[in-house]
Chains A and B, each alone.
Chain A
Amino acid sequence: MKIIVAEDDPVSAERLSSTLRTMGHQVQVFANGKDAFDSFMTNNARLIISDWMMPEMDGVEFCRNVRKAAKQDYVYFILVTGQRTAVADLDRAVQAGVDDFITKPLDSSSIFRRIFVAERILKFTVQIRQLSNLIPICMYCKNIRDDTDYWGSIEKFIHEHTGSDFSHGVCPDCFNKLTADDPEEQAQT
């Protein structure tokens, strides 16, 4: 997996990237949030590990910008924090879109665990995207099952998901079937 690391401390950057490469990942390292974000916009990295305080763009602003970019594939964002980070700051980070935290001092086992969970979540996001492209429809009555297991009409489903409405008419084939027993009605059209 491609991973972007944004970390201005060379020791922490080296330690992180070394661990990630040992796990088999491709790692790009940047010393500030702006360069990391610029790279993110031009590549398909699915995981970002960012320090908090950095020059140019800090980690929380970096995350906020990643979420605003709203790429099709979900990007998992891990923020590296100090041990005594204030609760209010953690809340602010989560609200900005941060998914998880790694606390300094870094250690390989906690990095492994966080990446393991990130990979699992990213697999789920792919599955969700695939499933959302399949619509469960009854092959007999054409009712559609929604997220709450309710079977409703196709018109209702389309309207709820697209805002479109239907103007109801009768196609030629159905008209012919319906009026097969009434030649007079057929003759009128």
Chain B
Amino acid sequence: MGIGSELPSGAFYGPSPPIHDVAPMPHPAPLDLHSSPALTHLNLAEKEVINAEVFGSLRAECPDLVEHLVTLFFEAAKPVVAHMKRIAVEGDATALFAGAHQLKGSASNFGADRFILVCEEIERISETGAPHATQQELVAAMVSELAAIEQALAS
């Protein structure tokens, strides 16, 4: 599937639910970046959760807007990730690709390098085909990285 392929409408593109309906991200189990077969080749341990240079540029350019952008990001990302967890079980490659692509673009504003790598991998396996177990493992990695971003930005 290339960029021009048909994308499903609906789940990802409706308005985000009000923030009080979105459950807080649970503290993730430590993500084993070294032994997970779906992740080892990504070398996530060598990447930053938040790229200091990219985030620093964002803060320098629009210091009054950063907090609002972070809020917008999590308001949009959490329901999408939650939905991706459900559809990873069904193996809907098209919807997984769409979700990963959307989140990747959003996360790029903050330099969330590890999260972006996981999103790119989900895009890749959605196009080439992969076992459901791999899809679920990658979505679990995405959940973990999203929580790591939240912790990094909170600090």
B residues in contact with A107, CB < 8 Å: 57, 61
Q: Cα distance A18–B101 when bound, in Å? A: 23
Give residues of chain B (104-121) contacting chain A, Cβ–Cβ below 8 Å: 104-106, 108-109, 111, 120
CB atoms of B102 and A8 under 8 A apart: yes
CB atoms of A108 and B106 under 8 A apart: no
Answer yes or no: A82 CB below 8 A from chain B CBs: yes
CB atoms of B101 and A53 under 8 A apart: yes
CB atoms of A15 and B69 under 8 A apart: yes
CB atoms of B4 and A58 under 8 A apart: yes
CB atoms of A9 and B106 under 8 A apart: yes
Tally of contact residues, A, Cβ under 8 A: 29
In this complex, the member of A11, A53, A89 whose beta carbon has the largest number of chain B beta carbons within 10 angstroms is A11
CB atoms of A108 and B61 under 8 A apart: yes
CB atoms of B109 and A12 under 8 A apart: yes
In this complex, the member of B7, B61, B65 whose beta carbon has the largest number of chain A beta carbons within 10 angstroms is B61
CB atoms of A92 and B4 under 8 A apart: yes
Chain B: minimal CB distance from A11 (Å): 5
**B residues neighboring A (CB under 8 Å):** 2-4, 7, 9, 12-13, 16, 54, 57, 61-62, 65, 68-69, 72-73, 75-76, 98, 101-102, 104-106, 108-109, 111, 120
Look across to chain B and name the residue whose beta carbon is closest to the beta carbon of A111. Answer: B61
What are 19 contact pairs spanning A and B, CB under 8 A?
A10-B16, A10-B75, A11-B69, A12-B105, A14-B68, A14-B69, A14-B72, A19-B62, A32-B13, A51-B105, A55-B13, A60-B4, A82-B108, A85-B3, A86-B2, A105-B54, A105-B109, A107-B57, A107-B61
Assess A105 versus B61: contact at CB under 8 Å? Given A9-B76, A53-B3, A92-B4. no
CB atoms of A11 and B73 under 8 A apart: yes
Q: Cα distance A154–B62 when bound, in Å? A: 59
A residues in contact with B16, CB < 8 Å: 10
CB atoms of A10 and B3 under 8 A apart: no
Answer yes or no: A104 CB below 8 A from chain B CBs: yes
When A and B form their complex, which 4 residue pairs have the shortest distance between CB atoms, in order from nearest? A55-B13, A105-B108, A108-B61, A9-B106
Q: Cα distance A10–B65 when bound, in Å? A: 13
Answer yes or no: A115 CB below 8 A from chain B CBs: no
Q: Cα distance A84–B61 when bound, in Å? A: 24
Answer yes or no: A146 CB below 8 A from chain B CBs: no
Q: Cα distance A10–B106 when bound, in Å? A: 8
Q: Cα distance A89–B4 when bound, in Å? A: 8
Chain A: minimal CB distance from B39 (Å): 19
